[in-house]
Structure 1
Amino acid sequence: MKNEYFVSPQWLNEHLHDENVVIVDASAPMPTQSIDYQQLWLEEHIPGAQFFDLDKVANLQTNLPHMLPEPEIFRQAVNKMGISENHLVVIYDQGNMFSAPRAWWTFKVFGAHHIRILEGGLQGWQQSGYSTESGKVARSPEVFNVQFTPEKVCSQAQILAALHNNVPVQFIDARAEERFQAKAPEPRPGLRMGHLPGAKNVPWTALMDNGLYKSVEEITAIFRKQGVNLDQPIITSCGSGMTAAVLVLGLDMIGHKEVKLYDGSWAEWGADDSFPLEK
């Protein structure tokens, strides 16, 4: 096994039929895309991989996209997928690392003990010469004992409180620099342009090199170059809570564990004219 975060296609191929290994396709479209990844999964996936729909295993009582579900909703979904908290869950996406970290974070928040991301995703698997299959995948139901850690999740009210009370916390925004600086419009209609007051910008793509995370040394240097104090608490955000998880994983890799993710992110903050922003 590569380390506590990733597995290689070779490792997964060697352990494909291990009883304790469960493979999950967590591909999700970018806000400018209208791709049905569940249909693509049905047509082609790593053998035994199930589809974890981040937009359906979510809080559907809000109009915000893919918000973290209630613990019971998550538990029911993964029980049906035959996943317990003790399984080794290997998550992949289509290969760009856009959504796999969000699924990693979701499983982690609800108490999964062993989570890995497949390096290179489905593309890396195929490029390594390994076979795929099509059709639905069924596993015997399991019981996932949820241990929810709400302290890893940040709400709009907590952001406002931090701003009003000058709490020593840093906001880090994973959106592209042009959106962060209000030089490019938001892909979701009706949102204001700008960023949280005092936020630093670390675009999620800066941590990537051909769909793989850069080294711990490189990631550390990137955060420091953007003025991030790695000794202070951090709240990450992005457009809708998806790529904010890319930063959470990157920070975890370099040993910074005191991180919250603002789930509503700019989809929530940018929609309300009463909230302060900077450009």
Structure 2
Amino acid sequence: MESLVSTEWLANEMGASDLRIVDCTRHLPGTGRDALAEYEAGHIPGAVFMDLADLVDAGAAVENTLPPAEKFASRMQSLGLGDGSRIVLYDDSAVKTAARAWFMLKMFGAHDVAILDGGIAKWKAEGRALTQGKEVLRHRHFTVWQDDKNLRTKAHVLANLHSKDEQVVDARGAKRWSGEEADPRPNIASGHIPGSFNVPYTALFNADGTFKDKAGLKAAFQGAGVDLGKPVVTSCGSGITACVLIFGLHLAGKDDVALYDGSWTEWGNDPDTPKATKPAA
């Protein structure tokens, strides 16, 4: 299974015994939208609902921190996602939250994971079937393991300011990155990690919500000054849209990419971390 699958592919695979479809929609606070209620009102047949708001480390100092491996595995087992499953993820979120689920599943050991190109919006636009209610699947074993090689901490990113071994790429909008626009969270500074590049996650998509092709994805990064021959660390507000950049780079054939999970929520809240701003042109 490819990492990105089409609605046509999914429609043809429906009913396969090893296929698991997952709605990973999560909305930002303040949108007034309820992802679970929307799922129950209409979802792709057979899809279970992954509650990304619950898939966090409740004891972490920074919001939206990745959960412990055991917690993640337990949640996956209860959803019926396990060893041997082909997992297709989709969302209906402005911040493309299926990429966060993809990153977690890959980090915690799932092998065959894909994102539905265009999400449920494209599925609906094509007039394909929807189901109401809540799907419940039989529990399956999910082998617990965790590979942290694609994770970076604040200490890593601070050290990188001097070593410059990795390029930091920020997925936030240009005005948030430059400091022209204040951070929406209280007590969080404006600006960006010094030396970081800005590739807003929205730059990776076509007008219909599908991902750009390989050439278009590469152009989005190279146009912002990113050298695709060197390692990358992605960041954003709280670690969600940074995963969109990781998935986009994966589609472009680049996998030496890591996530700074604390992202700007952690960096901008620390008075001792250096911050940079870019004057308006």
Deviation at 1:98, TM superposition (A): 1.5
Contact 1:238–1:244 at 8 Å: present in 2 too?
Answer: yes
Deviation at 1:64, TM superposition (A): 3.1
Contact 2:27–2:94 at 8 Å: present in 1 too?
Answer: no
SS in 1 for 2:157: helix
Identical-residue share of aligned pairs (%): 37
Letter in 2 for 1:181: S
Relative distance call for 1:34 and 1:154 in structure 2 (3 A) is farther
Deviation at 1:96, TM superposition (A): 4.7
Note the alpha carbon deviations across 1:7-60, whole angstroms, 9 max, x for none: 222221222211100010000113442422012112211111111111101111
Q: What are the ranges of 5 or more consecutive residues in structure 2 without an aligned counterpart?
A: none
Q: How does 1:58-207 map to 2 (within 5 A)?
A: 58-94=56-92, 96=94, 98-163=96-161, 165-207=162-204
Q: What are the ranges of 5 or more consecutive residues in structure 1 without an aligned counterpart?
A: none
Cross-structure match for 1:253 = 251
Letter in 2 for 1:75: A
Note the alpha carbon deviations across 1:121-158, whole angstroms, 9 max, x for none: 11111111111111121111100113311011111121
Contact 1:80–1:141 at 8 Å: present in 2 too?
Answer: yes
Q: How far apart, in 2, do the equivalents of 1:160 and 1:173 lie?
A: 15
Contact 2:27–2:95 at 8 Å: present in 1 too?
Answer: no
4+ residue segments displaced more than 4 Å = none
Cross-structure match for 1:239 = 237
Contact 1:95–1:211 at 8 Å: present in 2 too?
Answer: no
Structure 2 length as normaliser, TM-score?
0.94
Deviation at 1:63, TM superposition (A): 4.9
Note the alpha carbon deviations across 1:200-244, whole angstroms, 9 max, x for none: 001100111121111111111121111111111110000110000
Q: How far apart, in 1, do the equivalents of 2:180 and 2:215 lie?
A: 30
Cross-structure match for 1:208 = 205
Cross-structure match for 1:37 = 35
Contact 2:20–2:87 at 8 Å: present in 1 too?
Answer: yes
Deviation at 1:66, TM superposition (A): 2.5
Structure 1 length as normaliser, TM-score?
0.95
Letter in 2 for 1:158: H
Q: How far apart, in 1, do the equivalents of 2:90 and 2:178 lie?
A: 31
Q: How many residues align?
A: 276
Note the alpha carbon deviations across 1:171-190, whole angstroms, 9 max, x for none: 00000000000001112222
Q: How far apart, in 1, do the equivalents of 2:17 and 2:268 lie?
A: 45
Q: How far apart, in 1, do the equivalents of 2:94 and 2:116 lie?
A: 11
Contact 1:55–1:65 at 8 Å: present in 2 too?
Answer: no
